[in-house]
Amino acid sequence: MIKLQNVEKVYRTSSIETLALNNINLDVKKGEFVSIMGPSGCGKSTLLNIIGLLDAPSKGIIEIDGRKVERFNDKEIAPLRNKMLGFIFQSFHLINDLSVIDNVEIPLLYRSNNAKQRRELAEEALEKVGLANRMKHFPKQLSGGQKQRVAIARAIVGKPEIILADEPTGNLDSAMGNEIINILQSLNENGATIVMVTHDDAMAKRTHRLIRLFDGTQVL
């Protein structure tokens, strides 16, 4: 489902060069639930962003669902992100000016769905995360756990095959965190391929496979 070959990422600023990822090779199968661990600054987020086509690698090849991503131009990548990928971020990244349901609808805005279909799909996704009763609320009126559930609803509303989560429980207490992992697990059981960055061993244990990074290099 996700294939990385000899991927390298160098951050260049005017004074320094940081080798954030060094020769990464990765093959995530369809339906797998993979976690990524490693000390702070080792390149976990960088790796996830490259898998999610949010950033271009400095070197190497990326394949999503058998399609090689060669040119990182907007026209080619935007539809791929839209249809194949769903993101969950540590700090939720909900749009505060939009209601819960409008936030969840966002991925569908860039498809050919009409307003009615969008509403129906968004309601369905919110039901899956148990927030059907908060549709008209605004992000500021929700708890952290609820916000992350809205973010999950947004990630799954377009039924992408791959879900990418960067420390989805990092800002939550353990009870809330558990709830989130439960949801991710059930999504995985229903066929989603998931890659999750985490700091929590207990969370990592609940996934199929663990990838360890150290200083931009894969050590496991």
Ligand X SMILES: Nc1ncnc2c1ncn2[C@@H]1O[C@H](COP(=O)(O)OP(=O)(O)OP(=O)(O)O)[C@@H](O)[C@H]1O
Q: Which does 109 bind (CB under 5 to 8 A by kind): other proteins, ligand X, Mg ion, none?
A: other proteins
Name the binder of 79 from ligand X, other proteins, Mg ion, none, CB < 5-8 A by kind: other proteins
Cβ proximity to other proteins, 74 vs 175, nearer residue? 74
Pairing of strands 2-12, 59-64: antiparallel
Residues 44-63 that bind Mg ion (CB under 5 A): 45
**Interface region with ligand X, contact rule CB under 6 A, candidates 26-34, 35-43, 79-87, 111-119:** 35-43
The binder of 148, among ligand X, other proteins, Mg ion, none, by C-beta within 5 to 8 A per type, is: none
CB atoms within 10 A of CB 84: 19
Our finding on whether 46 is near ligand X (CB under 6 A) is: yes
Q: Quick check: helix, strand or coil at residue 99?
A: coil
Report the alpha-carbon distance of residue 80 to residue 72 in Å, rounded: 11
- CA dist 65 and 84 (Å) reads 8
Q: What distance in Å separates the CA atoms of residue 216 and residue 24, rounded to the nearest whole number?
A: 8
Q: Tell me if 62 sits within 8 A of 7, measured CB to CB.
A: yes
Binding partner at 15 among ligand X, Mg ion, other proteins, none, C-beta below 5 to 8 Å by kind: none
- Part in contact with ligand X (CB under 6 A); list of ranges 22-30, 41-49, 91-99, 131-139: 41-49
Q: Does 43 bind ligand X (CB under 6 A)?
A: yes
DSSP state of 29: P
Where does this chain bind Mg ion (CB under 5 A)? 45
